[in-house]
Structure 1
Amino acid sequence: MTTQLSVSGIELELFRYPSRQESNLQAWDAADEHLIKHLVDTEQAPTNTLIVNDNFGALTAGLLSINPDWPLTLETDAKTSLLGTTQNLSRNQLSADSLTWVNSRDELPQGIQLVLMKLPKNLNYFSHQLKRLSQVLPAGTQVFIGAKAKSINKSLLETISRNLGAASASLTWKKTRVITCITDGKPRALPTTIDWSVPEFNLKISNLSNVFAANKLDIGARIMLDNMPKGEFKSIVDLGCGNGILGLHAKQCFPDAYIHFIDDSEMAVTSAKANWALNKLDNPELVGQQATFAWDDCLTNMNEGFRPDLILCNPPFHQGEAITDHIAWQMFLDAFRRLKNGGILHVVGNRHLAYHVKLKRIFKNCTTVESNGKFVILQAQKISKKAQELEQSSATSAPHPQSALYGAAKR
Structure 2
Amino acid sequence: MTTQFSVSGIELELFRYPSRQESNLQAWDAADEHLIKHLLDTEQAPANTAVINDSFGALTTALLSINASWPLTIETDAKTSLLGTQQNIERNQLNSSSITWVNSRDELPQGISLVLMKLPKNLTYFSHQLSRLSQVLPAGTQVLIGAKAKSINKSLLETIGQYLGPANASLAWKKTRVITCVADGKPRTLPKATTWSVPEFNLEISNLSNVFAANKLDIGARIMLDNMPKGNFKSIVDLGCGNGILGLHAKQVFPEAYIHFIDDSEMAVASARANWQANKLDNPALVGEQATFGWDDCLTNMSEGFRPDLVLCNPPFHQGEAITDHIAWQMFLDAFRRLKNGGILHVVGNRHLAYHVKLKRIFKNCTTVASNGKFVILQAQKISKKAQEFDSQAPSAASQTNDEPHPQSALYGKPKSK
**Distance (whole Å) between structure 1 residues aligned to residue 70 and residue 366 of structure 2:** 51
Q: Which amino acid aligns with 2:285?
A: E
Map 1:374-393; keep pairs closer than 5 Å.
374-385=374-385
Matching residue of 1:108: 108
**Distance (whole Å) between structure 2 residues aligned to residue 38 and residue 55 of structure 1:** 19
**Distance (whole Å) between structure 2 residues aligned to residue 290 and residue 112 of structure 1:** 41
Are residue 371 (structure 1) and residue 371 (structure 2) matched?
yes
Matching residue of 1:320: 320
**Distance (whole Å) between structure 1 residues aligned to residue 72 and residue 193 of structure 2:** 29
Matching residue of 1:68: 68
**Distance (whole Å) between structure 2 residues aligned to residue 370 and residue 203 of structure 1:** 23
Tell me which stretches of 4 or more aligned residues in structure 1 moved more than 6 Å: 386-389
* Deviation per residue, 1:339-375 (Å, 9 max, x gap): 0000000000000000000000100000000000000
Does the 8 A contact of 2:61 with 2:88 survive in 1? yes
The answer for unaligned runs of 5 or more in structure 2 is 390-418
The answer for unaligned runs of 5 or more in structure 1 is 390-411
**Post-superposition offset of 1:139:** 0.3
Are residue 300 (structure 1) and residue 265 (structure 2) matched?
no
Are residue 168 (structure 1) and residue 197 (structure 2) matched?
no
**Distance (whole Å) between structure 2 residues aligned to residue 77 and residue 166 of structure 1:** 26
**Distance (whole Å) between structure 2 residues aligned to residue 25 and residue 6 of structure 1:** 16
Q: What secondary structure does 1:285 align onto?
A: coil
TM-score normalised by L of structure 2: 0.92
Map 1:109-148; keep pairs closer than 5 Å.
109-148=109-148
Does the 8 A contact of 2:363 with 2:386 survive in 1? no
**Distance (whole Å) between structure 1 residues aligned to residue 244 and residue 325 of structure 2:** 22
Q: How many residue pairs get matched?
A: 389
Matching residue of 1:235: 235
Matching residue of 1:310: 310
**Distance (whole Å) between structure 1 residues aligned to residue 283 and residue 277 of structure 2:** 12
Matching residue of 2:341: 341
Q: What secondary structure does 2:166 align onto?
A: strand
**Post-superposition offset of 1:284:** 0.6
**Post-superposition offset of 1:388:** 9.2
**Distance (whole Å) between structure 2 residues aligned to residue 98 and residue 272 of structure 1:** 33
Q: Which amino acid aligns with 2:152?
A: I
**Distance (whole Å) between structure 1 residues aligned to residue 121 and residue 380 of structure 2:** 32
Q: Which amino acid aligns with 1:50?
A: A
**Post-superposition offset of 1:384:** 1.0
Matching residue of 1:149: 149
**Distance (whole Å) between structure 2 residues aligned to residue 227 and residue 70 of structure 1:** 52
Map 1:3-14; keep pairs closer than 5 Å.
3-14=3-14
Q: Which amino acid aligns with 1:236?
A: I
Q: What secondary structure does 1:165 align onto?
A: coil
**Distance (whole Å) between structure 2 residues aligned to residue 387 and residue 190 of structure 1:** 48
Does the 8 A contact of 2:36 with 2:62 survive in 1? yes
Are residue 358 (structure 1) and residue 358 (structure 2) matched?
yes
**Post-superposition offset of 1:387:** 9.0
Matching residue of 1:407: none
Q: What secondary structure does 2:62 align onto?
A: helix
**Distance (whole Å) between structure 2 residues aligned to residue 161 and residue 274 of structure 1:** 32
Are residue 94 (structure 1) and residue 94 (structure 2) matched?
yes
**Distance (whole Å) between structure 2 residues aligned to residue 256 and residue 42 of structure 1:** 61
**Distance (whole Å) between structure 1 residues aligned to residue 27 and residue 386 of structure 2:** 40
Q: Which amino acid aligns with 2:75?
A: E
**Post-superposition offset of 1:386:** 6.3
**Distance (whole Å) between structure 2 residues aligned to residue 361 and residue 153 of structure 1:** 45
Are residue 219 (structure 1) and residue 224 (structure 2) matched?
no
* Deviation per residue, 1:217-261 (Å, 9 max, x gap): 000000000000000000000000000000000000000000000
Matching residue of 1:85: 85
1:386/1:18 Cα in 2 relative to 1: closer, same or farther (>3 Å)?
Answer: closer
Map 1:198-277; keep pairs closer than 5 Å.
198-277=198-277
**Distance (whole Å) between structure 1 residues aligned to residue 255 and residue 144 of structure 2:** 50
**Distance (whole Å) between structure 2 residues aligned to residue 212 and residue 55 of structure 1:** 18
**Distance (whole Å) between structure 2 residues aligned to residue 350 and residue 94 of structure 1:** 42
Larger Rg over CA atoms:
1
TM-score normalised by L of structure 1: 0.94
**Post-superposition offset of 1:21:** 1.2
Q: What secondary structure does 1:190 align onto?
A: coil
**Distance (whole Å) between structure 2 residues aligned to residue 74 and residue 110 of structure 1:** 14
1:309/1:112 Cα in 2 relative to 1: closer, same or farther (>3 Å)?
Answer: same
1:70/1:387 Cα in 2 relative to 1: closer, same or farther (>3 Å)?
Answer: closer
Does the 8 A contact of 2:364 with 2:386 survive in 1? no
Q: What secondary structure does 1:2 align onto?
A: coil
**Distance (whole Å) between structure 1 residues aligned to residue 196 and residue 189 of structure 2:** 21
Q: Which amino acid aligns with 1:106?
A: D
* Deviation per residue, 1:296-319 (Å, 9 max, x gap): 000010001000000000000010
Matching residue of 1:284: 284
Q: Which amino acid aligns with 1:266?
A: E
Q: What secondary structure does 1:107 align onto?
A: coil
1:387/1:298 Cα in 2 relative to 1: closer, same or farther (>3 Å)?
Answer: closer
Q: What secondary structure does 2:369 align onto?
A: strand
**Distance (whole Å) between structure 1 residues aligned to residue 218 and residue 176 of structure 2:** 32
